[in-house]
Chains A and B, each alone.
Chain A
Amino acid sequence: MLTIKDPTKGLVAHGVSTCAGCGLELAIRVILDVMGENTIIVIPPSCSALFSGFGNETTLRIPGVQGNLENTAAIAAGVRAGLEYQGKGDINVLGLAGDGGTADIGLQSLSGALERGDKILYVCYDNEAYMNTGIQGSSSTPMGAWTTTTPYGKPVKRKNLMQIVGAHGIPYAASASIGYIDDLRKKVVKAKAAIAEGPAFLHIHAPCPTGWGYDPALTVELAKLAVSTRCWNLFELVDGSKVNITKKVNKVKPAEEYLTPQKRFTGIDATTLAMVQTQIDKDYARLELLAGLSCETDSAA
């Protein structure tokens, strides 16, 4: 019989084979802490697959399905439907995939689950490229970033995943960051409550020292910088319409402060940098506008 010896008190063991300074590892510890033992996790082949372990180095203390790259949400939907049919609807079903497995190849499967109202929590940890296969660009890679398939820097802006998810009008969606753990934890709590009604979605910014090229000790600091430069905004999207900005950045820093410490932006030119800053400003203005509209709707009601 396989004996797993592990002194950890949480649901994720220590000594996981992620890279030093992995942002995802912080995220998964918080998520599972909130979701609890009564949870089944679905993960694709990706960095998250490292948490299903290798050999007897199994790192999660909950049942897990490692599916294919394109169908995390579909497998989660099937597990959930199977459980509901058996009267075991109290078991949480959690999908955890990266940006490639969510915004690229997994988008169809995610959209299907959101449209059907499958009662699952889907978490996209976003390290902004295909890191597990060796840093290839994804639709979440920011403009100007070097990856092995964008050797001259990514020429186009990233996909707005939260907006796509929001278009499905699901009960709860939120962006979060491993730089703001308390905020992340609150959002997981809300998401867990929301899946009684329908799908919940979390989009978590998870810096990757290996792929971005920075000192692994700076992961949390860099995650915070992403927020304080508005390169990553923290907000909730309730029922697809009510926008709530959970971290308002009053003293905004220029994007350059966040980009410069990362080697992937070494080759960015002034024109692209200006385009990046313009896009950031536009995105935030739009977010504030939507948040304002949501407030008016509230007061009117």
Chain B
Amino acid sequence: MERTTKFVQGNEACVEGALYAGVNFYAGYPITPSTEIAEALSGRLPEIGGKFIQMEDEIASMCAIIGASLTGHKVLTATSGPGFSLKQEAIGYACMAEIPCVIANVQRGGPSTGNPTHVGQGDINQARWGTHGDHAIIALTASNHQDVFAMTVEAFNMAETYRTPVVLLFDEVVGHMREKLVIPAPGEVEIVDRLRTSVPKGVDYRPYLPREDGRLPMSDFGDKHRYNVTGLYHDMWGFPSANPKIVNELLRHLVDKIENNVDSITRYKEYFLDDAQYILISYGSSARSAIHMAKNRREKNEKIGVLELQSIWPFPSELVREKCANAKAVVVVEMNMGQVLAQVKAAVDEPNKVFLANRIDGKLITPTDIKGLLRVIQGRGI
């Protein structure tokens, strides 16, 4: 099998990535600007023997993928801000019950109905803390279609590896823009399949007893074992418990399995960082402008580099601190009021040298917007 090349929307690149990763179940609800993901899968999944369901609302969509994941499917839902808000309780459930699933949030302007057909990146913190209670989450993002594909595959791999919901934080520009996508040949990119228990039928299966490596082998619902799944704190059999020792250990497990693996989960790209005096940190569609601007200024011998984050949560604080150690200034380029900015400030040694270049008006931040701010920081005026 050869690679195939397509000219697609970012939302279609997500679909291609999901199919490559082995998605065979999708439940969703129409919402701009993510709907193309559902539309494409409504045609593609039946072709490969998979299942597409349009649910009656956003909550139901999230719950349906949880149910289907338990039966052994690789599952996806896609939404945007308002729908992501509605899904939050069920996302917390999937964190607590350790159910692998992938949620694509193609971000638009918020809050509320906001700016439905325009770009925004305001759901960064919601992806982290949208559901209540202590928990950990993985959130990935991408600035171009090749990376949308790659991060979608990674999302499914991480969901299976860590038995957790993984959020894909795309945005309207990436979702709707069209560009080239090369789909790797089968086998070219590693696919993580579900780890299933080797415990035979009739033998005591403990779904929440981690192996030595921390992974929890699953048993498909309706197959060999009877076990319980709950959003309550639970013991290793999945039965509810308020035993302080069990509660304490489970919460630490839920957080540690992700936070302790931040190095394995971290994904990023760097451009001209080696000798960079000024570092732009960005992600998603705003990273395109940052990279463009840096390339342009390099031609004029300005020492500017870009750190493009592809994993946002768990936040790669150590990476950011190391990369920014020798920078004169760090500029976070994003389309919100400074959500990643706060993380970068907390990560670096000198937070007062971190600045925000943002746009929140529904328009894509431009290289000129970034250049203007950088010139001010450099003391060169606009």
Contacts and interface: CB of A to CB of B under 8 A. Distances in A.
B58 A105 contact: yes
B56 A149 contact: no
Contact of A133 (B35, B43, B112, B113): B35
B35 A105 contact: no
B175 interface: no
B39 A105 contact: no
Interface string B154-174: 000000000000000000000
A179 to B, nearest CB: 27
A133 B31 contact: yes
Interface in A103-149: 104-105, 107, 130, 133-134, 136-137, 139, 148-149
A106 to B, nearest CB: 9
A105 B57 contact: yes
Contacts of B30: 100, 130, 133-134, 136, 149
A66 B113 contact: yes
Interface size class of A (residues with CB under 8 A): 20 to 34
A151 interface: yes
A133 B83 CA distance: 13
Interface in B22-45: 29-32, 35, 38-39, 42-43
Contact of A104 (B35, B43, B57): B57
Given A68-B82, A152-B46, A107 B32 contact: no
Contact of A107 (B42, B56, B86, B116): B56
Interface of A: 45, 66, 68-70, 100, 104-105, 107, 130, 133-134, 136-137, 139, 148-152
- Name the residue in B30, B46, B56, B113 with the highest tally of chain A Cβ atoms < 10 Å from its Cβ: B30
28 contacts: A45-B116, A68-B112, A69-B82, A100-B30, A104-B29, A104-B56, A104-B57, A105-B29, A105-B58, A107-B56, A130-B30, A133-B31, A134-B30, A134-B39, A136-B39, A136-B54, A137-B54, A139-B56, A148-B35, A148-B39, A148-B42, A149-B30, A149-B38, A149-B39, A149-B54, A150-B54, A151-B39, A152-B43
B113 A151 contact: no
Contacts of A68: 82, 112-113
B260 to A, nearest CB: 38
The majority secondary structure among interface residues of chain B is mixed
Given A105-B29, A133-B32, A150-B54, 11 more contacts: A70-B57, A70-B86, A104-B29, A105-B56, A130-B30, A133-B30, A133-B35, A137-B54, A148-B42, A151-B42, A152-B43
The majority secondary structure among interface residues of chain A is loop
Interface of B: 29-32, 35, 38-39, 42-43, 46, 52, 54, 56-58, 82, 86, 112-113, 116
A100 B31 CA distance: 12
A68 B32 CA distance: 14
For the complex of A and B, list the 3 residue pairs with the smallest distance between their C-beta atoms, beginning with the closest.
Answer: A105-B57, A136-B30, A104-B56
Nearest to B30: A136
Nearest to A44: B113
Contacts of A107: 56
A137 B56 CA distance: 10
A155 B57 CA distance: 19
Contacts of A100: 30
B313 to A, nearest CB: 26
Nearest to B114: A45
A109 B227 CA distance: 34
A149 B42 contact: yes
A49 B112 CA distance: 14
- Name the residue in B39, B46, B82 with the highest tally of chain A Cβ atoms < 10 Å from its Cβ: B39
A35 B345 CA distance: 56
B44 to A, nearest CB: 10
Contacts of B86: 70
A151 B56 CA distance: 18
Contacts of A70: 57, 86
A55 to B, nearest CB: 13
